[in-house]
Amino acid sequence: MGTLRKITKIVHIFAQSGNPSFHAAATHQPAKLFNNNHLFRFTAKLALFVTFASTPAWAAPPSFAKDVAPILAANCAGCHSGNVKMGKFDLGSFETLRTGGHSGPAIIPGKSGESLLYLRITGAALPSMPLNGNKLADAEIETIRQWIDAGAQPPAAAEAVATTTPAIPDIKPRAAVKALVGALAYRPDGKLLALGSFKEVRLVDPQTRQLLATLPGEAEDVRAVAFSPDGKLLAAAGGLPGRGGELRIWDVEKRALLHTIAGHADCIYAVEFAPDGASVATASYDKLIKLWNVATGKEIRTLKDHIDAVYALAFTPDGQRLVSASADRGVKVWDVASGERLYTLSESTDGLNALALDPSGKRVAAGGLDRTIRIWSLDQKSGVLLQSLIAHEDAILQLAWSPGGQYLVSSSADKEVKLFNAADLSVLKTWRQPDWALSLKFSPDGNTFAVGRFDGSFEVYPLGPAPGRDALGTGALSPASR
């Protein structure tokens, strides 16, 4: 798995583990978001202290379910369970934990010194674990050692549930994580910005940046948000990685939840309203695209042809076509009425994360792990590759096309946001980002665009001419004050 491919996985894993330290390591970022782990460590140490202080040395060895599993859940499950089994090592069950990954058994009962898992967590075997460099506390390592040396006993029958459900739910420190802004949408009147965050959507005034309301109760990270064309409804989507997608539809003015729809087998990564507002489309890690009736919340149909996660969606302005981009490298064009796949644009050499339609609906831009922005024409029966540019030094995360059609903006895992002239893909301006810009949208008037970041911040950048300056002239594009 190349670094680039990891990026997409990582974004997904993050959602899965709620552990930003993983992200930090995987992108070679300074480790700065560890507060959740510290909190956990503290709790864990406290628990161990209590255990040891009240337990004589000759008492029972650490229990897998009570002592060991929580350590693995908090520090390892993000990379070793669900959809992600790095090194083919799966903490999904006690059995697979014992079986180990591509190097064979991870645990030799009674022999910590020969157990790969122990060697990796002490650093005696490389690469040391957790891979994110966030070494386990000494007491945690000691707990695991004692458990292995005492025979690596499986959980007692009565405890089995806790270990075989290793998605190891609800590790409390998640709440302390600074929530990312994984999704953004402007209301069509431009006066409201929805930010998809951890377990909630925040409604902010894009001008004053003031928080106006919070729509709570989302399953996990909100990965996609969209306003209906009349601005009255908001669709917020996400779900529980590996377990299911969730789509919620809100009445924006009343801040009232209208529908909660569970419909995919995995997290939803894109949501778009059809231009007539009657239906909404979702795309998921489960490789499927689904169309939903907004009034009833019922599924209209499933569009099935991608062979990997689908990360981005757009309707053409006439509502007849839906365009999707997937980790399978393909951009697919669908007939909305029949659900039929019309054609696939397949020039990308690696998985795609993002797509953007030009406002006429005649061209589509897509980008992803191969760092390249490609623009195709969208014709009746096929599309033609018009332009291609290696735009960034790392995976492209998002793309947006300005409402006037002139500009294209991209964000990348190289932590840059770039503004291009859409006609020839020449770079007009680059903004360094403090963290990944996971979400990116133009304001409806095209004068500004907003980015939402992994670190929970968001920024609105003006595009239009500053007083006394030409459009895009020097200085006109400096970030808005925060």
**Site residues, ligand HEC (CB under 6 A):** 22, 25-26, 72, 75-76, 78-80, 86-87, 89, 100-103, 106, 116-117, 120-121, 127, 129-132, 136
Number of Cα atoms under 13 Å in the Cβ half of residue 206: 26
Min separation Cβ 28 and ligand HEC, Å: 12
Nearer to ligand HEC, 78 or 238 (CB): 78
Min separation Cβ 129 and ligand HEC, Å: 3
Nearer to ligand HEC, 63 or 214 (CB): 63
Nearer to ligand HEC, 23 or 415 (CB): 23
Nearer to ligand HEC, 131 or 300 (CB): 131
- Return the closest-CA partner of residue 440 out of 452, 432, 428: 452
Nearer to ligand HEC, 27 or 448 (CB): 27
Nearer to ligand HEC, 9 or 259 (CB): 9
Nearer to ligand HEC, 39 or 131 (CB): 131
Residue 381, token pair as written in the block: 């029966």
Q: How many angstroms separate the first and last alpha carbons of the chain? A: 38
Min separation Cβ 473 and ligand HEC, Å: 44
Q: How far apart are CA 456 and CA 435, in angstroms?
A: 9
Nearer to ligand HEC, 68 or 289 (CB): 68
- Let me know the angle formed at the C-alpha of 36 by 210 and 29, rounded to the nearest 5 degrees: 85
Q: Side chain identity at 227, as an amino acid letter? A: F
Min separation Cβ 13 and ligand HEC, Å: 8
Number of Cα atoms under 13 Å in the Cβ half of residue 155: 21
H helix or E strand, kind and range, residue 8: helix 3-17
Length reported for the chain: 482
Q: Is the peptide bond before 130 cis (omega within 30 degrees of 0)?
A: yes
Min separation Cβ 459 and ligand HEC, Å: 28
- Return the closest-CA partner of residue 237 out of 76, 451, 439: 439
Q: How far apart are CA 343 and CA 328, in angstroms?
A: 14
Min separation Cβ 452 and ligand HEC, Å: 23
Q: 35: alpha, beta or left, given left = phi > 0 and alpha = psi -120 to 50?
A: alpha
**CA–CA distances in Å: residue 317 to residues 112, 190, 275, 358:** 62, 18, 6, 10
Nearer to ligand HEC, 118 or 461 (CB): 118
Q: Side chain identity at 121, as an amino acid letter? A: I
Min separation Cβ 86 and ligand HEC, Å: 3
Q: How far apart are CA 266 and CA 286, in angstroms?
A: 5
Residue 69, token pair as written in the block: 């599993």
Min separation Cβ 287 and ligand HEC, Å: 24
Q: How far apart are CA 271 and CA 282, in angstroms?
A: 4
Min separation Cβ 152 and ligand HEC, Å: 13
